[in-house]
Chain A
Amino acid sequence: AQTVTQSQPEMSVQEAETVTLSCTYDTSESDYYLFWYKQPPSRQMILVIRQEAYKQQNATENRFSVNFQKAAKSFSLKISDSQLGDAAMYFCAYRGDYGGSQGNLIFGKGTKLSVKP
């Protein structure tokens, strides 16, 4: 069974600084997808970034980028130029690509990010 581990329950960053959130996963599949979702206090889950396992290039979305290390099964999220609006719970999620998949996500336990002004 696949598992996702986020080892940092809480993180803190100064506004305008850079922070990296860690995520590791365990799978025997070769094709899969990885996601970072953000859930602010308003509670809506918002997709931050996604990575296809078959792509070697790390995904980037504006100030958000990932460091995807397939062999190490590591998928960290880097937030550059942190803003107050980045404060939220961040969930790392895995989705397999096996036949018949319902697109089910496996979530890590989350990392609560605080941004200090």
Chain B
Amino acid sequence: DTEVTQTPKHLVMGMTNKKSLKCEQHMGHRAMYWYKQKAKKPPELMFVYSYEKLSINESVPSRFSPECPNSSLLNLHLHALQPEDSALYLCASRDRGYNEQFFGPGTRLTVL
């Protein structure tokens, strides 16, 4: 299995809602990433988990809360988001033996 899966594909939420994005990989990769991507822009790194520990937080607002319950699963909990948080959220994973990151298909988030 050489893929990264993300659910849901689309999410619409109000500013007072709480929702979660899920990312899963079964390639045994020990580094996992969350990116935010606006239209026609490159992905922006949000968080990096290495061996299930948060190693990088790129000054992301606390309304985004990452979680890595195990080595295969990565969650992004969302609370009190703003309309400007609407974007494509990409998950990626990487193994120590590889140099490239493998990306999931993304979740298209719309905040009303």
A45 and B99 contacting across the interface, CB-CB below 8 Å: no
Q: Which B residues are CB-close (under 8 A) to A37?
A: 103
Q: Which B residues are CB-close (under 8 A) to A95?
A: 99
Q: Report A34 CB to chain B, min CB distance, Å.
A: 10
Q: Report B92 CB to chain A, min CB distance, Å.
A: 8
Prevailing SS type, chain B contact patch: strand
Q: How many residues of B contact A (CB 8 A)?
A: 23
Q: Which of A63-115 contact B (CB under 8 A)?
A: 89, 91, 95, 102-105, 107-110, 112
Q: How many residues of A contact B (CB 8 A)?
A: 23
Q: Which B residues are CB-close (under 8 A) to A35?
A: 99-100
Q: Report A7 CB to chain B, min CB distance, Å.
A: 14
A46 to B105 alpha-carbon distance, docked (Å): 9
Q: Of residues B41, B90, B100, B104, which shows the largest number of chain A Cβ atoms within 10 Å of its Cβ? A: B100
Residues in B lying within 8 Å of A, measured CB to CB: 31, 40-43, 45, 48, 50, 55-56, 88, 90, 92, 94, 99-106, 108
Residues in A lying within 8 Å of B, measured CB to CB: 33, 35, 37, 42-47, 50, 52, 89, 91, 95, 102-105, 107-110, 112
